[in-house]
């Protein structure tokens, strides 16, 4: 229920992701690229050919109290013109952030350019994100893994972290709702902010990503209980970004999976069928 393709910062094309999902025994796959729906039309057609149900999704970037907060949206109307205009605005902010991170890395004495980062995208108009920057850092020998790049430079509060003004999580939720979709909070264990979860629930949040590769067992139990308390749909996702230098980030497709019944519940809640 949570994967990225070359339309944003994944390394697998939609066709490759669907083939891997099928190989890994999945019957459905949520494609949730960052701030773009560019992969969805072709993915849905390919899913029909390969016998995999594609859940059309999005992962919207927002900020709360200086922290990155990601909101997943399922069964959005990805052809909605207003929705796509708003996404374009979000992508402009993302580009600004990438430039800020590169400038900070240069200040730290690391020779890196935006041209090098952009060259790691295999799709001409694909979104650029931190994994592309991490890939360059790995190739330069600055770090030995994607995770190390985030732990030392790119993650929250690290040496080259940057976070320009963005929409709030509530505004991200409203975008998803207005496009007919179902809002679900991505990997809440990374935020450690129960007050935010409760606030979003009061505002209409429908689900929470309980199971994620970066969640500990304690995180999963805690957010499972939160979901039970508020009657939220419990989703799971690998947050698959493909492979970089032979390394899978965050998890492989199917590493964290849910049941087809959860897919049906999300679809039933969506305004666009």
pLDDT for 230? 97
**Positions of the chain with pLDDT under 70:** 124-125, 272-273
- Domains of the chain by residue range: 14-269
Q: In angstroms, rounded to a whole number, what is the distance separating the alpha carbons of residues 223 and 167?
A: 24
pTM over 0.75: yes
Query: DSSP letters along 198-223, please?
Result: HHHHHTT--EEEEE-TT--HHHHHHH
| Residue 272, pLDDT score | 65
Residue 158 per-residue DSSP state = S
48-78 pLDDT, tens per residue?
999 999 999 999 999 999 899 999 999 999 9
Please report the pLDDT score of residue 273 as a whole number: 53
Q: What is the pLDDT of residues 6-63, one digit of tens each?
A: 999 999 999 999 999 999 999 999 999 999 999 999 999 999 999 999 999 999 999 9
Between CA 229 and CA 239 the distance in angstroms is 25
DSSP string, 94-153: HHHHHHHHHHHHHHTT----HHHHHTT-SSTTPPP-HHHHHHHHHHTTS-SSHHHHIIII
Residue 255, pLDDT score: 97
Q: Please provide the CATH number assigned to the domain covering 14-269.
A: 3.20.20.140
């Amino acid at each position: 229920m949570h994967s990225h393709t070359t339309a944003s910062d994944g390394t697998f094309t939609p066709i490759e992701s669907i083939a891997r999902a099928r190989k890994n025994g999945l019957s459905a796959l949520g494609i949730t690229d960052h701030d773009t729906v560019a992969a969805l039309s072709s993915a849905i057609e390919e899913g029909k050919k390969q016998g995999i149900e594609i859940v059309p999704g999005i992962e919207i970037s927002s900020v709360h109290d200086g922290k990155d907060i990601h909101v997943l949206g399922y069964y959005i109307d990805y052809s909605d013109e207003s929705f796509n205009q708003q996404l374009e605005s979000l992508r402009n902010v993302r580009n600004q952030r990438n430039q800020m991170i590169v400038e900070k890395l240069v200040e730290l004495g690391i020779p890196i350019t935006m041209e090098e980062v952009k060259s790691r995208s295999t799709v001409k108009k694909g979104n650029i994100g931190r994994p592309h920057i991490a890939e360059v850092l790995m190739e330069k020998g600055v770090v030995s893994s994607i995770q190390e790049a985030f732990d030392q430079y790119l993650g929250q509060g690290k040496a080259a972290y940057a976070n320009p003004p963005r929409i709030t999580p509530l505004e991200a939720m409203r975008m998803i709702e207005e496009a007919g979709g179902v809002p679900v909070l991505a990997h809440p264990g990374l935020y450690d902010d129960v007050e935010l979860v409760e606030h979003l629930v009061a505002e209409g949040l429908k689900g929470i990503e309980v199971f994620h590769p970066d969640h500990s067992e304690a995180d999963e139990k805690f957010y499972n209980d939160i979901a039970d308390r508020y009657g939220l749909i419990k989703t799971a996702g690998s947050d698959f970004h493909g492979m970089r230098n032979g390394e899978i980030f965050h998890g492989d497709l199917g590493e964290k999976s849910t049941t087809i019944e959860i897919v049906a519940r999300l679809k039933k809640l969506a305004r666009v069928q």
